[in-house]
Structure 1
Amino acid sequence: MKFGLLGRVLGHSLSPQIHAAIFRALGSTDTYELLEREPEQVAAFVQENGAGLTGSNVTIPYKEKVIPYLKEIAPEAEKIGAVNTLFFTPDGVKGYNTDYLGFDRMLQAAGISLAGKDVTVLGNGGAAKAVLQVVADRKAKSVQILSRHPEQAKDSLQHFLAQRPDAEVRLYADARPGSAVVINTTPVGMFPKVGASPVSADFTKGAEAAVDIIYNPKETRFLADARQNGAKTCNGLYMLVAQAVASEEIWQQKKLEPALIPDIMKQLEATFHG
């Protein structure tokens, strides 16, 4: 079977490396390629079943653009308003969001619970949408979203805010302190700019857990500060691999061994910094 990643600029993607590791573990000869397309080519790509592919991941800027061309959309993807996985079937193209599944599985693996907790999410980009949906579905007590542009954030997060009208969207400078769980969905602190953090060092004081969806470096400045403040910490590598495994489970139509995720994580970690 053939798979790929639909996007516009894909040179730095780790997806081929991750899926190749999955194929090796399965003993398959399946392939995964990068599929760079311009916006005007997206509709034809989906409508023509990816030109012979069994499935495709979707990355920015096309996670919303593919939705009108789908026959069916999974509940979590519909609630988020974004699709990152396409399954080309004889009955039509089906859309899923495995970023959601990957983040949820990561929290479970790390032993981090959101139920009944005050949660702060840093950022409101594409990754934040899947994260916030997990936060809502896991029944967080309160949700604070920090953004540099709150009004724009409210526009982009309409799907989420319709479900959680009690959620607060604030400027970083106006942040309410004291959340039990703080989640960074911004790229601040990613290699090579590893010294930066989206919040001050004391922002996570008193927090039970801090989560960063960045995976390179292994410990960002944000996570280092949180660890020094006594919080449990978790980076985004598990999410990265788990969302790929979840995509393969959809395409292969079977559950894969849970041990596959940490095995692939170890392979990847050798190539990262910090």
Structure 2
Amino acid sequence: MSSLYGLIGEKLGHSFSSIIHSIIFKELSIDGNYHLFEVNNEHLKDAVCGLNALKAKGANVTIPYKVDIMKYLNDISIESNKIGAVNTICFKDNKTIGYNTDYYGFGIMLNKYNVNVKNKTAVILGTGGASKAVVQYLLDKEINDIVFVSRDINKVDVKFKKFKLISYDEIKNIKQKDIIINCTPCGMHPNVNISPINKEDMSKFKVAVDLIYNPTQTLFLKYADELGLVSINGLYMLIGQAVKAQELWNNIEIDSAICDKIYYKINSILQGGNNE
């Protein structure tokens, strides 16, 4: 009998999760089915209980439920507690355990492109949910300094209060830094003709990372390429977090070659303009 997996979220029409996990199932000969579960907030607890009752093996969680889902789980992993968000659930022995594989996916992506953050300096654009896993990974890997950029520095999550916070108008005053990371949706399909910062400010960095993967080259990354920076989009992180989830669900280790194979397949779909 096939094992049940899925994605819990509010609006999932453009998710690539089913495609990614189907490729993993095929490559590793896992007998599984991955479904998309669009759930209203008032039914979130019911969704967790229902999947547990159906003896699902695992589920991913996407916006806007990565924080709310935590109160309905039996246990939370160390990295999820530190981050304050869960994006993966393991169903084991009638218990639910929350993990954050965005954290690992971000690390897998940086390792893929040989980006070492130890003792480096970083600027993170955005203080929303996407930035929580990113900042925790950077701290755990001994980054030297982090500056956050927010549209409203007075309304940021308490988690970010211990860091230097600046507005977008103040980016022009930043001195040379190593890495800039876009954790905002600015530039995402279909609004592809905008960038969170201008080309001149981009020149202050050596590495530019955009968590957006559609389009594969945002205007933000186009500026980076034109300036000769190392530029990385979020597709490998998306794949890395899915692979890590499968490792947790099935207690296995997945070779990096599988990540590469998935990357080329999904990238081909994106380049072809198919974002379903």
TM-score band, normalised by shorter chain: over 0.9
Name the counterpart of 1:201.
Answer: 199
SS for the counterpart of 1:41 is helix
For residues 213-266 of structure 1, give each alpha carbon's deviation from its aligned partner in whole angstroms, at most 9, with x where no partner exists: 111222211112112222111111100101000000000111112101110111
Q: Assess if the C-alpha contact under 8 Å between 1:87 and 1:93 holds in 2.
A: yes
Name the counterpart of 1:178.
Answer: 176
Q: Assess if the C-alpha contact under 8 Å between 2:221 and 2:231 holds in 1.
A: yes
Deviation for aligned residue 1:48: 4.3
Deviation for aligned residue 1:64: 0.9
Are 1:40 and 2:42 matched, yes or no? yes
Are 1:168 and 2:184 matched, yes or no? no
Q: Supply the distance in 2 between the matched residues of 1:145 and 1:238 (Cα, whole angstroms).
A: 23
Are 1:73 and 2:76 matched, yes or no? yes
Q: Match for 1:120: what amino acid? A: V
Name the counterpart of 1:218.
Answer: 216
What TM-score does the superposition give when structure 1 sets the normalisation length?
0.93
Name the counterpart of 1:250.
Answer: 248
For residues 96-128 of structure 1, give each alpha carbon's deviation from its aligned partner in whole angstroms, at most 9, with x where no partner exists: 000110001111111111111110001112111
Counterpart among 97, 115, 128 of residue 131 in structure 2: 128
Are 1:147 and 2:147 matched, yes or no? no
Q: Assess if the C-alpha contact under 8 Å between 1:206 and 1:231 holds in 2.
A: no
Summarize the alignment of residues 106-121 of structure 1 with structure 2, pairs less than 5 Å apart. Answer: 106-121=109-124
Q: Supply the distance in 1 between the matched residues of 2:228 and 2:131 (Cα, whole angstroms).
A: 25
Are 1:9 and 2:11 matched, yes or no? yes
Q: Supply the distance in 2 between the matched residues of 1:196 and 1:34 (Cα, whole angstroms).
A: 30
Counterpart among 41, 57, 65 of residue 60 in structure 2: 57
Instruction: Indicate the larger mover: 238-247 or 85-94.
Output: 85-94
Deviation for aligned residue 1:49: 4.3
Counterpart among 224, 227, 232 of residue 225 in structure 2: 227
Name the counterpart of 2:20.
Answer: 18
The unaligned stretches of length 5 or more in structure 2 are none
Instruction: Indicate the larger mover: 223-232 or 59-68.
Output: 223-232
Q: Match for 1:38: what amino acid? A: N
- CA, structure 1 residues 50+36, in 2 after alignment: closer, same or farther (shift >3 Å)? farther
Q: Supply the distance in 1 between the matched residues of 2:83 and 2:160 (Cα, whole angstroms).
A: 7
What TM-score does the superposition give when structure 2 sets the normalisation length?
0.92
Q: Assess if the C-alpha contact under 8 Å between 2:152 and 2:167 holds in 1.
A: yes
The unaligned stretches of length 5 or more in structure 1 are none
Q: Supply the distance in 2 between the matched residues of 1:211 and 1:132 (Cα, whole angstroms).
A: 13
For residues 13-69 of structure 1, give each alpha carbon's deviation from its aligned partner in whole angstroms, at most 9, with x where no partner exists: 111111111111012330000011111111122234444211110011111111122
Q: Supply the distance in 2 between the matched residues of 1:177 and 1:204 (Cα, whole angstroms).
A: 11
Structure 1: 4+ residue segments shifted above 3 A? 47-51
Instruction: Indicate the larger mover: 219-228 or 114-123.
Output: 219-228
Q: Supply the distance in 2 between the matched residues of 1:151 and 1:128 (Cα, whole angstroms).
A: 17
Are 1:264 and 2:262 matched, yes or no? yes
SS for the counterpart of 2:154 is helix
Q: Match for 1:159: what amino acid? A: K
Instruction: Indicate the larger mover: 64-73 or 9-18.
Output: 64-73
**Paired residues, number:** 267
Q: Assess if the C-alpha contact under 8 Å between 1:45 and 1:51 holds in 2.
A: no
Are 1:99 and 2:102 matched, yes or no? yes
Q: Supply the distance in 2 between the matched residues of 1:218 and 1:90 (Cα, whole angstroms).
A: 40
Q: Match for 1:8: what amino acid? A: E
Q: What's the Cα RMSD here?
A: 1.5
Q: Assess if the C-alpha contact under 8 Å between 1:73 and 1:94 holds in 2.
A: yes
